[in-house]
Structure 1
């Protein structure tokens, strides 16, 4: 088994706490803003905090149907969130799991409202290599989701304050 790690940063004009509330805490916003990407998110087990199991149903624009993930950490004060994809067709029969960590920080030093730092670790099955273009495609999809949430929050200045 190997591990492929990639990180990315997204700068947005939205303050960190507001972006965290919209992107992490509300499971209904992404399906509302991007229904073609994600149809719905349902809690299968737990209360939303660490140990919670969620089932994500992808939209028609996705080549995947669903994934199941487990919340590892949810810290509303530090604005951090980590989860592990443990099941579903997005693992493509080549991955054991995917670990994801998100951290929302003040972006004043970068002339923006918020920097979201994201790290993903792909745990491959024995003998499997991940292609660079697959990683790039994943980053582009994630970037698109952040930008769609930012656009929604800019258009709805009273939401998630």
Structure 2
């Protein structure tokens, strides 16, 4: 098994606690509402939404994937940290990747906004090497979702306040 690690940083004008509530704590309600063309639903299939829970993302018809399942490893509202691991997905993921773990930390920045720090670790099966293109495509989708949440919060200043 190989491990490939990436670290990314994103900034937002939205305060960290508000962004955490919208993009993490209530993501299962908000994301399908604001991105119905991409996400059909996000369901909690095990647990209460906290650490140890399993969530399943069901993608909209026409998507290249049908679903992904992930386990919440840590959810801390005080430190604004969120760690989770993708544990199951469509056939293409299952052939190459054992799992992907993510560590997310939201921190305040000087302008009142947020610095989002994310570390992702890709655990591949056997001697599989992931292409830079496939990882870049996945990161762009995640960034797109992040930007849609940010836009929603900018357009709805009372939401998640």
Partner residue, 1:68: 69
Distance 2:102 2:51 in 1: 14
Alignment of 1:1-161 (within 5 A): 1-26=1-26, 27-60=28-61, 62-89=63-90, 91-108=93-110, 111=111, 113-161=113-161
Runs of 4+ aligned residues of structure 1 deviating over 6 Å after TM superposition are none
**Structure 2 unaligned regions, length at least 5:** none
Shift, 1:61, TM fit: 5.4
Deviation per CA, 1:120-152: give whole Å up to 9, x if none: 111000020100111111111111111111100
Aligned CA distance change for structure 1 residues 61 and 142 (closer, same or farther; 3 Å): farther
Residue 92 (structure 1) shift: 4.0
CA contact (8 A) 2:88 2:94 kept: no
Contact 2:68 2:86 (8 Å CA) reproduced:
yes
Structure-2-length-normalised TM-score = 0.94
Cα distance in structure 2, aligned partners of 1:32 and 1:141: 17
